[in-house]
Amino acid sequence: MKIIVIVGPTGVGKTKLSIELAKKMNAVIINGDSMQVYKGLDIGTAKIKENEKEGIEHYLFDICTPLEDYNIYKYQQDGRCLLDKFIKENRNVIIVGGSGLYLKSLLYDYKFQEESIQDDYHDLTNEEILSEIKKDHETDIHVNNRKRLIRELNKIKNGNNIKTDIYKKLYDFTIIGLTCPRDKLYEIVDKRVDLMVEEGLIEEVKNLYNQGIRSKAIETGIGYKELYAYFDNQVTLEEAINNIKKNTRHFIKRQYTFFKHQMDVNWVNVNFQDFKETIQESLKIIHED
């Protein structure tokens, strides 16, 4: 029984590799992306389509609505329940996604308080909340943006409740990271965003907007928050699309930083012209581990 984790930046081919490896290893696939758990967030998250699954069992996709606050603690619980089940059944598992902290919380000895802190800090002024935040780290949140200040301080307080040994693995697994030259990846991202628009991204987000959904998933999700700004008449459509591309590139930089410093990754340079080579190199890593 093997657990394979496929990581890498947005747009590099993780989903494609997961399907090919799952077919060869008779494995199930578990989602490791924090946005693909939500129903209705399909095009903007590049979620795998039903006809692309090729009969492979997929888990932790489309398990809640955008109105629900599905957080890292819930993911950890759901993911470990599945892993323990498949280990008992001696089934191979492939975990695929780009949400590094979700993956670490699942695979390493992360411990959370079950109930997260959600305080409105009614007894503190904006200046006092900002001062509390700056005890932990610097921030560019404006002092008048109370909503963001409260959210950031709650995030810090919840983060301080985490007790973990980041070096202690709870499972035996192999991590494969897909990569390619940065300029090539940015080119792929720009084309990918244009394709998303052609496939109906604007309509997908407009449907959520018309329902009045302004949840955490929408406010933080790339592709959703930018188009909400357009629907709010804060930017033009062209600006919104350019912002999606720009924010995706920034996200890619953060993904690389996390995976290179936080996880023991076996990196594979993707051959987009002959993806079979990428598959074979990944299989070689799996067999040698």
Element (H, E) at 200: none
Residue 104 and residue 247 in one domain:
yes
pLDDT at 154: 80
Specify the CATH number for the domain of residue 59: 3.40.50.300
Neighbours of 175 (CB within 10 A): 20
| DSSP symbols for 246-270 | HHHHHHHHHHHHHHHHHS--EEEE-
Residue 283 and residue 141 in one domain:
no
Residue 128 and residue 235 in one domain:
no
Q: What is this structure's pTM? A: 0.80
pLDDT at 21: 96
What are 104's two structure tokens? 């670490």
- Among left, alpha and beta (phi > 0; psi -120 to 50; other), residue 273 is alpha
CA 154 to chain centre: 21
Structural domains counted in the chain: 2
Of 132, 161, 190, the domain-final residue: 161
Average the pLDDT over 104-125 and give the result.
75
Cα gap 186→116, rounded to integer Å: 36
Residue 59 above 60 pLDDT? yes
Cα gap 153→116, rounded to integer Å: 12
Residue 72 and residue 94 in one domain:
yes
pLDDT band of 156, cuts 50, 70, 90: confident
φ and ψ at 238, to 5 degrees? Answer: -60, -40
Residue 57 and residue 135 in one domain:
no
Q: Are the CB atoms for 25 and 287 separated by under 8 Å? A: no
**Average pLDDT of the chain, as a whole number:** 90
What are 222's two structure tokens? 């790339």
Residue 261 and residue 215 in one domain:
yes
Cα gap 261→189, rounded to integer Å: 23
Residue 202 and residue 263 in one domain:
yes
pLDDT, tens digit, 9 for 90 and up, residues 224-259: 999 999 999 999 999 999 999 999 999 999 888 888
Residue 26 and residue 168 in one domain:
yes
pLDDT, tens digit, 9 for 90 and up, residues 115-155: 455 677 877 889 988 988 887 667 888 889 988 888 888 87
Q: Are the CB atoms for 268 and 285 separated by under 8 Å? A: yes
* Burial track 137-168 (b if 16+ CB lie within 10 A, e otherwise): eeeebeeeebeebbbbbbebebeeeeeeeeee
Average the pLDDT over 179-189 and give the result.
93
Domain that includes residue 155, residue range: 120-161
Average the pLDDT over 89-93 and give the result.
96
